[in-house]
Copies of this chain bind each other. A is one copy, B any other.
Amino acid sequence: MERNVFFISDRTGITAEMLGQSLLSQFEDNVRFNQKTLPFIDTPEKAHDAVARINAAAENADNRPLIFETVVRPEIRAIIAESKGIIMDFFHTFIGPLETELGAHSSFSVGKAHSTRNIHAYDTRIAAVNFALNNDDGASTRQYQDADIILVGVSRCGKTPTSLYMAMQFGIRAANYPFTEDDMERLQMPAAVKQFKKKVYGLTIDPMRLHQIRTERRANSRYASLPQCMFEVREVESLYRREQIPFLNTTSRSIEELAATIMAETGLERHIF
């Protein structure tokens, strides 16, 4: 069974995609979804174009397209409502109950959520991304006193994407430090890291998965070999236990899950919303 799906927004569409994905994933054993995002539908003209696309999809299928929408402007919403799709309205479904509960009218101003209206939040976020880049992969340890967290682990266990995601989504200043092959005999925490031990958080990974990832990068190397991966993971996990460093296995977790788990377990509060 197939079904056309449209994510429609008068902004980026990213929220509609995320919630829509979460809903669709409950049905994907039975249905194949053809997905299309129509972002920035912020004028009546663009809304009519969107309706034309939805209706064209409807005519070429034997069922109605699903529409997941986060359209703020009432006039745009009214146009989309005339399409032949079935609408899941992620925004207006909740605005009424919220107005009642808060005893206030919504401002129906678009683009507040991600706008740079709050320049301070924007700067915090960019500074966090730059911090992650400057303190990636042990490139520098001089700024560790400014870090919110220092992720450690073997090469290719997920430190860099997790650091970047924490910076981008939460404004967290995340440094990361790799344990290299050379560190492995009698593994110790380097002094530069150890002095900030309270901020240190370990990542680990299934050695088979590590072997697979490293093989993509450098096939048939000692670095990628399964015995080496097993050795490094064993040494690093032993260090975590010995030094009582909290740690997390990245193997079957998405970047979002890693970032959110680390936030929850360390009690770190996001710097931006």
Chain A positions near chain B (C-beta within 8 angstroms): 1, 3, 11-15, 17-19, 21-23, 25-31, 35, 37, 39-40, 64, 66, 70, 72, 86, 88, 90-91, 93-95, 97-98, 101-102, 104, 106-109, 111-116, 122-123, 125-126, 129-130, 133, 136, 158, 160-161, 164-165, 168-169, 216, 251-257, 259-261, 263-264, 270, 273
Contact = CB atoms under 8 A, between A and B. Distances in A.
A13 B270 CA distance: 13
Nearest to A115: B254
B27 A254 contact: no
A199 B238 CA distance: 47
A193 to B, nearest CB: 22
Contacts of A21: 113, 273
A129 B115 CA distance: 24
B255 A90 contact: no
B14 A94 contact: no
Given A252-B115, A254-B122, A264-B39, A66 B18 contact: no
Contacts of A158: 126
Contacts of A102: 1, 3, 27, 30-31
A112 B24 CA distance: 10
B70 A19 contact: yes
Contacts of A88: 94, 97-98
Given A18-B18, A66-B101, 10 more contacts: A3-B102, A14-B256, A17-B273, A26-B98, A35-B273, A39-B260, A66-B98, A90-B90, A126-B158, A126-B161
Chain B CB count within 10 A is highest, among A21, A125, A252, A257, for A257
Contacts of A27: 98, 102, 104, 106-107
Contact of A104 (B17, B31, B91, B270): B31
30 contacts: A11-B257, A12-B256, A14-B18, A14-B256, A15-B19, A15-B22, A18-B19, A18-B113, A19-B91, A21-B273, A22-B91, A23-B95, A26-B109, A27-B107, A30-B102, A31-B104, A39-B261, A39-B264, A64-B101, A66-B98, A88-B94, A88-B98, A114-B255, A115-B252, A125-B161, A133-B133, A161-B168, A164-B164, A164-B168, A168-B168
Contacts of A256: 12, 14, 114
A269 to B, nearest CB: 9
Contacts of A29: 107
Contacts of A111: 257
